[in-house]
Structure 1
């Protein structure tokens, strides 16, 4: 999982500071996400998935499919 964060960042030629600024955290905090030394909140996972245009499932290693799921036009589950 953590290697995927680094790979996605490197694929876009970004450094940790770039992502940290986007997340509004310090570079050291983001580094700990990539190293697996700090747990990500759901909000951080959502922001990273949106930033990298992928799914949380991909970030978590649940799927190998990078393409994000299609978002529902209607957020109601009823």
Structure 2
């Protein structure tokens, strides 16, 4: 399932840059067929190839993997006083 998401995202991002499979494969120093296998979900790129793709497309690894960004909340300890805050 993840392979299909990654492959779909690679194909979509490649399309946004109006690149052919051949052009992207050349940038990645791989065969066009290898890239095609990623896009159709037959194979999954390794982490190094994903990093290169992220750089080429100027996106995060999360975006290529189809992950949604998470919002993390920091807990604030309200019982702690901070001296000097706002003082001159």
TM-score normalized with structure 1 length: 0.77
Aligned-pair RMSD on alpha carbons?
Answer: 1.1
Among 43, 46, 52, the alignment partner of 2:51 is: 46
Q: Which 4+ runs in 1 deviate beyond 6 A?
A: none
Within 2, Cα distance between the matches of 1:10 and 1:25? 18
Q: Which has the larger radius of gyration?
A: 2
Aligned residue pairs: how many? 64
Q: List runs of 5+ in structure 2 lacking aligned partners.
A: 70-88
Partner of residue 10 from structure 1, selected from 12, 15, 19: 15
Q: Which runs of 5+ in 1 are unaligned?
A: 65-78
TM-score, reference length from structure 2: 0.69
